[in-house]
């Protein structure tokens, strides 16, 4: 199944990883987005099945676990599963693209372990927890309960930063875009 390279972007919620990933995908025709599977509810009306996530019922997700259909999967929050389908990676590689992942921290480390030197694992870091909480609130898609749960999880997720290949600090978005592009370019020309 190993055909292209992989870029794994992981971070606590609100760090800006999704914004950075979307920018890279818009500006690099050779990159393709790995759509994750999830059992969580859609956020508002903007999220589409098969575009933002493959929204599965918990029963369907568990069936796919039993079928060994995932490269990796995690129960990120109680009752909320996320995972990377093998068919999704095969789809992108068959299109001649390098795969970009936007995943939680544990999923990112599992992907790095699976793909090894063919993957660059990037930890996107917000400069402070206060700014992180502010960004979550600005989304206006989170409840107070979900913000509280995400902020509680931040400290845990930050403890994994040193297990990633590189940290990308997102204070200034334009600078973060430039640094992310540099990381992609450098990895694509490397021998791994």
pLDDT in tens, 114-137: 999 999 999 999 877 777 777 677
Q: Which of 1-10, 106-115, 171-180 has the lowest mean pLDDT?
A: 1-10
Q: Which of 29-38, 51-60, 143-152, 168-177 has the lowest mean pLDDT?
A: 143-152
Give the residue, 79 or 187, on which the prediction is more confident.
187
The pLDDT assigned to 1 comes to 47
Three-state secondary-structure class, residue 152: helix
The pLDDT assigned to 122 comes to 98
- The pTM assigned to this predicted structure is 0.85
Distance CA 103, CA 137 (A): 20
Q: How buried is 97 (Cβ within 10 angstroms: 0-12 exposed, 13-18 middle, 19+ buried)?
A: buried
Distance CA 103, CA 152 (A): 18
User: pLDDT tens, 63-118?
Assistant: 999 999 999 998 877 888 999 999 999 999 999 999 999 988 988 999 999 999 99
CB 55 within 8 A of CB 63: no
The pLDDT assigned to 43 comes to 76
Name the helix (H) or strand (E) containing 72: strand 70-77
Distance CA 171, CA 174 (A): 9
Tokens of 33: 């987005």
CB 12 within 8 A of CB 127: no
The pLDDT assigned to 192 comes to 62
Distance CA 31, CA 68 (A): 26
Is 90 exceeded by the pLDDT of residue 12?
no
Is 90 exceeded by the pLDDT of residue 180?
yes
The pLDDT assigned to 2 comes to 52
């Amino acid at each position: 199944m190993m055909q292209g390279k992989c870029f794994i972007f992981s971070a606590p919620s609100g760090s800006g990883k999704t914004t950075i990933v979307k920018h890279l995908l818009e500006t690099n025709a050779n990159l393709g987005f790995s759509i994750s599977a999830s059992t969580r509810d859609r956020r508002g009306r903007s999220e589409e099945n098969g575009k933002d996530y493959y929204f599965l019922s918990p029963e369907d997700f568990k069936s796919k676990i039993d079928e060994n259909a995932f490269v990796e999967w995690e129960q990120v929050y109680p009752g909320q599963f996320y995972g990377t389908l093998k068919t999704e990676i095969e789809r992108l590689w068959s299109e001649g693209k390098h795969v970009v992942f936007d995943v939680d921290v544990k999923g990112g480390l599992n992907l790095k372990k699976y793909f090894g030197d063919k993957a660059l694992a990037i930890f996107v870091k917000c400069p402070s927890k206060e700014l992180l909480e502010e960004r979550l609130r600005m989304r206006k898609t989170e409840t107070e309960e979900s913000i509280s749960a995400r902020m509680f999880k931040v400290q845990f997720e930050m403890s994994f930063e040193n297990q990633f290949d590189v940290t990308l600090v997102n204070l200034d978005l334009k600078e973060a875009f430039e640094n992310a592009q540099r990381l992609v370019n450098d990895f694509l020309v490397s021998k791994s």
